[in-house]
Amino acid sequence: MSYQEIRDRVYKVTVHLGYDLIETDDGKVKSKRITSSKTFDLSHLSREKAEKQIIIEEDKYASEAKGNPVVDRGMTFRTLSKLFMEQYAALNLRPKTIKSYSDELDSKILPEFGYMTASEIHPLQLTMFYNKLAKTTYKKGSKNVKTCSYSARTIYYQHQIISSIFNWGIEMELLAKNPCKAVKPPRPKKSQKINKAKQWNAAEAINFLCFIEEAPLKYLCAIELLLVGNMRTEEVLGLDIDDVQEKGVSIHRTSKLVGKEMIVEELAKNDPSERFVTLPKIVVNDLKKLRTEQKARQFKLQKMWGDIKKSDGKPRILLLTQADGKPMHGKTIYHWFKKQIAAYNRTKPDEEKLKDIPPHGLRHTGASLITLLGFQARAGSARLGHALASTFLNMYGAAQDIEDEMISESLGGLLLQNRKQEDAK
């Protein structure tokens, strides 16, 4: 904000209101400063009074102009989202989140709003878009193709992405308002209870561990870390040989599939997922054996070993890798685990077969057994890397069938002793 005297006691006030963005043919975005000006003729006043009055007029005009910001009326939502991804997301979000945002923008959001002027998108258009998604069906699966519709969670995720882009645009003084604030998209159900069909009871877990006792060491360790260490798959894949300690493992990073590439990423220092997990001696011994094997493989391959580096430039030797030292894919564990369940079930009658659960179901199984063993939610929550103990309670607080039976027997034994004695007479 500034003013200048263009003639005797005639002033021009200029207020800065933001930037106009133009996307060129080569895909680059150029910025142009947006200003608003007004001329004030104070020649009827003495010079002393005019110089005082122009300061008052300057503040008044700036307040009026910024109350109704002049924003870029021609910038499309595609241009705004591109700026958001380049200038904010790339610097502040995790690679997996960036990939997820890009996929959702390209497949759903930009085909609908990309050509529209960002400042002219209004709440009704967003509401119509969410309603359209709710009625849209798509094909899922390659072998057993299913026709599915978008869930409330998926629709709400689109709303979160769009709202984040508009909020960033307001912070950068590119837009005046966020139309998402006037929209109420379908919200996903808050219930976080774990589906019992996606986990095993203690007997099933024990039977499976006995069945894979002679499995390749890296797969055996992966299963033990998921089930006994209550770890996430990406945490297991992110462990390196230095994370194996005398009493357990330290979790400092994750390894996730982003697009077609496995990305090893350090956890933030205040992330509750960064923790130490104590493990039984037998599991620690298996991890030490695997650590020794990985050291030998890396020494043998030398420069041919995977190109994952530590902060000091030295090669990072992950605990679970492909043969060449590159990060193992989560799908590798998934497919191996599914094959072992199928192999086990082929040898058993129907009543003894294992439920077909995903590898992450082992983490849920271990967590449910923590509650079954009577440990406090705070301890279980810390072990699983939850930020709040309430998350653990919400997810694993419900009793399993076996636990419910134990409760029933215990209450019956305590409260119905006299009736049992009378019935015996």
Give the pairing type, strands 261-266 and 146-149. unpaired
- In the predicted model, residues of the chain with pLDDT beneath 50 are 68-71, 398-403, 419-420, 422, 424-425
pLDDT at 145: 67
Q: Cα(164)–Cα(378) distance, rounded to whole angstroms?
A: 33
pLDDT at 368: 84
In the three-class reduction of DSSP (H, G, I as helix; E, B as strand; rest coil), residue 113 is classed as: helix
Report the amino acid identity of residue 192.
Q
pLDDT at 267: 76
Contact assessment for residue 327 and residue 255, using Cβ atoms and an 8 Å cutoff: yes
Integer distance in angstroms from the first to the last C-alpha of the chain? 97
Report the amino acid identity of residue 44.
H
pLDDT at 390: 67
Q: What is the per-residue burial (b if ≥16 Cβ within 10 Å, else e) of 45-74?
A: eeeeebeeebeebbeebbeebbeebebbee
Contact assessment for residue 300 and residue 310, using Cβ atoms and an 8 Å cutoff: no
The tokens 């991890």 sit on which residue?
287
pLDDT at 373: 78
Bridge-partner residues for 147, per DSSP?
139
pTM for this structure? 0.64
Closest to 102 measured CA to CA, from 120, 123, 84, 127: 84
Domains and CATH numbers, the chain: 2-67 (no CATH), 77-182 (1.10.150.130), 196-401 (1.10.443.10)
φ/ψ of 20, rounded to 5, equals: -100, 125
pLDDT at 220: 95
pLDDT at 378: 79
pLDDT at 367: 86
